[in-house]
Chains A and B, each alone.
Chain A
Amino acid sequence: MNLLGWLQLILFLGVLFLITKPLGIHLYKVLTPGEKPFLGAVFGPIERLFYRLLGIEAKSEQGWLAYTGSMLVFSLVTCLFTYAVLRLQYYLPLNPQKFAGLAPHLAFNTAMSFTTNTNWQSYAGESTCSYFSQMVGLASHNFWSAAVGIAMAAALVRGIARATSKTLGNFWVDLTRVTLYVLLPICVVYALFLVFQGIPQNFQGYTAVTGPDGFAQTIAQGPIASQIAIKMLGTNGGGFLNANAAHPFENPTPLANFIQMISIFSIGSALTYYLGKMVKNQKHGWSVWSAMVILFVAGALVCWWAESHPSHLFGEMGIRAADGNMEGKEVRFGVFNSALFATITTDASCGAVNSMHDSFTPLGGLVPLFNIELGEMIFGGVGAGLYAILIFVVISVFIAGLMVGRTPEYLGKKIEAYDVKMAVLYTLVGAFTILGFTAWGAVSQTAQAGLNNGGPHGLTEILYAFSSGTGNNGSAFAGLTANAPWWDVALGIAMFLGRFWMIIPMMALAGNLVGKKIAPTSVGSFPVSGATFTLLLVGTIVIVGGLTFLPALALGPIVEHFIMTGSAKLY
């Protein structure tokens, strides 16, 4: 833990803080029908053309059921489309390596994974997927699942901000505007920057070379840069190549790495400003933002410390202690930027990796795992992070209400039994899916055939896989061989439950909140800004996450840590 690391962490927080307000204002304009956002002159005609093609009224609005229904139908159609593309890729264009179609279980897993913004990689990009499958079958979902996430968050925020209303906005309008005004323009600039930094963008077949020392190598190519931009900005995380953001073609320089880390958090951070602006309480937005920062910094510091302190066997063998744990890490990132990236990618539901989490120290690997299990609300997936933390805001004000013996209220709206039930249902779906499948995996011979490590680390591989799938993260303890029927199907189901079965109670909550009156603020109102609120929110998140998952974590990374530092028994 050195000075340069601290400096980079402070710079990261500074840049994140600076982009939050301008990007938040932009999001407010995009998500508020009638407002004309930046680039309106360029994309306005395309926007209106879209509405004409779709046959919808830009001013029409939907209630929570209709809004959710539109999203579900759209997700179904696009999921089936990607399944078809992956199965049929041999017959489709842009397949210079002549890759065969994907097996049914792998195509199901991958289609579900990209539809749900998970981007779990059971496939290895460069040896499995054609350029067409990547650019059309997969990258399309990078945009769509991100836009869907932001739309859902906007619907919930409208539910909180509007008084005695029935509607939450229009799904098709939100989808169109987010894509045209936010994701696409940022990606054009971003992708060109990434090409400049060294990421390829071409349609050639792979290049066979023989090096100076006679080493033969086949260099994978492809339209990589355009896909990496939206993979990061949309917190998707599915790599074009197997090694993901650790691959020099996906993340060639420390500067590209820094920008990629910023882009993962950018929209999630800006959405807290959007929240503040919508509810006309900017302090509330910043208080939520502060809670996220506290949890982020805590995770980053623990992970950084742990990765700087590998097993004592390293030192006994003669490896220099100052270098930390470099197994599964790249020279250009080193220990600090690997630990920081791992924390960021799991605080958000990104799941891109610039180092191999499976090779982290036990506590270093615990941090990303615990981040996912907290529900990815530390900035979180685009949109998904905001609605996740708002669920916890509801739970927090409910607990605060119980403590002081008042009817809980949030921004002037009474929080009643139905609201709390929906919020708790949301958290239970996640916990049930993660722990249920992990328990099954831990006793199933079929499941265990996929493990790469033995002992408690093996259990962590299973727990991480289902946490990542259910949390729609997509990072992995990648030693697990997940491309087998049991794993592909089980993880596909976990991703489905973790996305849609959590969105539905969230939207039901939004639909219920939107109909409520807003009572004027009084001295008896619970303040939802300031240090007390922020700490209450942090406490609620950690305690709920901790109580739910601590027993499982104790059997995995925690016991492995004590084995490593103690007897150093090997498996």
Chain B
Amino acid sequence: MNDTNKSETNTFHFLRELKISLIATVALLLLLCGVYPLVIWGLGNVAFHHQAEGSLVRNAQGTVIGSELLGQGFTSDKYFHSRPSAAGNGYDATSSGGSNLGQTSQKLIDSLKARIAVYRKENSLDSTAQIPGDAVTASASGLDPEISLDNALIQASRVVKARGIERGHVEALIHGNLRGRGLGFLGEPGVNVLQLNLALDTLK
């Protein structure tokens, strides 16, 4: 509409464009892949050091024992168990991922059946008890740090028996480690398994 007086470069010189491309690549790399991530690194570490370092959890001796954001394997009866994991050989944080099995996969149905049988046995459930979906399905990342509230409440009986403590204490811990919905209504609530188990260990 108003471009009559603009200079016009409708001619195309490959070598000139190549030179501009090379300079643009270097200049933008410095800005976007040097300055930008380093600024986030600097500011992030000052303002949110814990998160920037991977939300690591330490024991009383100061040794890192996991990340509060990453699920890990628990097999003892006295601990709450994470969701099934298809990451590597289970909860492998260098090989995240799901089973990627579809609804008509024999392998999926077989593994669901096997997990349901184990879950019923571990938690002394009869064959008619309904199983929470998250308890027997593999998560997307294989590192889901959380389980549903119902899953935690079912497992509580086993933990109570193994530890010989009052159920009321365990239920209080479950509710204490329940992350609510974002802003009260975003996403789904969940119980952080690692933090719940650590809280159990401090209960004497």
Assess whether B31 is interfacial by the CB under 8 Å rule: yes
Known contacts A4-B185, A70-B21, A454-B105; 13 further A-B pairs (Cβ under 8 A): A140-B32, A144-B28, A172-B24, A188-B36, A204-B53, A212-B65, A217-B66, A246-B141, A317-B116, A319-B112, A356-B99, A479-B101, A569-B104
Residues of A within 8 A of B56 (CB): 207, 209, 219
A358 touches B101 (CB 8 A): yes
Is A453 interfacial (CB-CB < 8 Å)?
yes
Chain B residues near A361 (CB-CB < 8 A): 103
A163 near B: Cβ within 8 Å? yes
Instruction: Tell me how far the C-beta of A515 lies from the nearest C-beta in chain B, rounded to whole angstroms.
Output: 12
Per-position binary interface string of chain A over residues 533-571, scored 1 when its CB falls under 8 Å from any chain B CB and 0 otherwise = 000000000000000000000000000100110001111
Residues in A whose Cβ lies below 8 Å from that of B37: 135, 139, 201, 223, 226-227
A53 to B54, CA, bound (A): 39
A453 to B59, CA, bound (A): 42
User: Do residues A73 and B94 form an inter-chain contact, with CB atoms below 8 A?
Assistant: no
Decide: A210 and B94 in contact? CB cutoff 8 A: no
A213 to B193 CA separation, bound complex (whole angstroms): 12
A interface residues, tally (CB under 8 Å): 139
CB-contact partner of B76 in A62, A213, A252, under 8 A: A213
Cβ of B183: which chain A residues have Cβ within 8 Å of it? 255
Whether B144 and A564, one on each chain, are in contact in the complex, defined by CB atoms closer than 8 angstroms, is no
Q: Are A166 and B187 touching (Cβ within 8 A)? A: no
Please report B residues at the A interface, Cβ cutoff 8 Å. Answer: 1, 3, 6-12, 14, 17-25, 27-29, 31-33, 36-37, 39-41, 43-45, 47-48, 51-56, 59, 64-67, 69-76, 79, 83, 87, 91-106, 108-109, 112-113, 116, 120, 127-134, 136-148, 179, 181-183, 185-188, 190, 194, 197-198, 201
The 5 closest A-B pairs by CB, nearest first: A254-B187, A323-B133, A479-B100, A246-B140, A254-B182
Given contacts A124-B95, A320-B130, A325-B103, contact A212 B197 (CB under 8 A): yes
Min Cβ gap B116→A in Å is 6
CB distance from B111 to the nearest CB of A (A): 9
Q: Mark A171-201, 1 if CB is under 8 A from B, else 0.
A: 0100110010000100110011001111111
Within 8 A of B (CB), among A349-373: 353-356, 358-362, 365
Give 20 pairs: A residue, B residue, CB < 8 Å, sorted on A.
A57-B7, A66-B9, A77-B21, A172-B24, A195-B47, A215-B72, A218-B93, A243-B140, A243-B141, A246-B96, A254-B186, A254-B187, A255-B183, A258-B186, A311-B104, A320-B132, A320-B133, A323-B134, A325-B103, A330-B144
Distance of A233 from chain B, by nearest CB (Å): 13
